[in-house]
Chains A and B, each alone.
Chain A
Amino acid sequence: DVKVTQSSRYLVKRTGEKVFLECVQDMDHENMFWYRQDPGLGLRLIYFSYDVKMKEKGDIPEGYSVSREKKERFSLILESASTNQTSMYLCASSLGTESTYEQYFGPGTRLTVT
């Protein structure tokens, strides 16, 4: 049973703080993704990674960076948090073969920036 875990369910940070969101998957998946979900905007891709130390920008990378030092762990970094980054952040992983496109999601982190 695939498990994707995220370090916090709820987080409150102040404007300007550096924020780390951690994601760990236990199924040896190649691919990992970070999304944010906002009402009326659906799931928007921030960054993704197909391999260790590799990263690709998604649709909305501005204000974010990522780190993937180990295959199972993908971190999202908000260098200087702003109020418009208040959102639900979702991490996902997938096997990365052409026959299985399914992504498995973590429970999400609700981040509030005040």
Chain B
Amino acid sequence: DQQVKQNSPSLSVQEGRISILNCDYTNSMFDYFLWYKKYPAEGPTFLISISSIKDKNEDGRFTVFLNKSAKHLSLHIVPSQPGDSAVYFCAAIYSGNTPLVFGKGTRLSVIA
């Protein structure tokens, strides 16, 4: 039973345009959400996060939106750059000391 779902395995976007990566979750107990970026042969690196008390968090070219009623979050990258080509993982966590629950990832390709 997948609690965090990334339904698009891959996404291709032209350089300079917006990339939108989506993530859905089923467990209403989740109250903190994170996005990680992973290049081949490297470990994932933290990108941006959002608490359930917010609906938007911005960091430079990256913005995460949270819609709690729809149990949906999205990561927007504007403008997209070739160096953004990577696998992006969505993750969620309850309050307290529990492990992150990861989605299966979306491979983003930014085409020059």
Contact check: which of B34, B42, B104 meets A107 at CB < 8 Å? B42
* Residue B60 CB within 8 A of the other chain: no
- Once the chains bind, are A45 and B99 in contact (CB under 8 Å)? yes
Task: Please report the total number of B residues contacting A with Cβ < 8 Å.
Answer: 23
* Residue B45 CB within 8 A of the other chain: yes
Total residue contacts A-B, CB cutoff 8 A = 51
Cα A58 to Cα B99 with chains together (Å): 9
Question: Which residues of chain B in 47-63 are interfacial with respect to chain A, using CB atoms and an 8 Å cutoff?
Answer: 49
Contact check: which of A40, A43, A48, A96 meets B44 at CB < 8 Å? A43
- Residues of chain A touching chain B, judged by Cβ–Cβ distance below 8 Å, are 4, 9, 31, 33, 35, 40-43, 45, 48, 50, 58, 90, 92, 96, 98, 101-108, 110
- Residues of chain B touching chain A, judged by Cβ–Cβ distance below 8 Å, are 6, 9, 32, 34, 36, 41-46, 49, 89, 93, 95-97, 99-100, 102-105
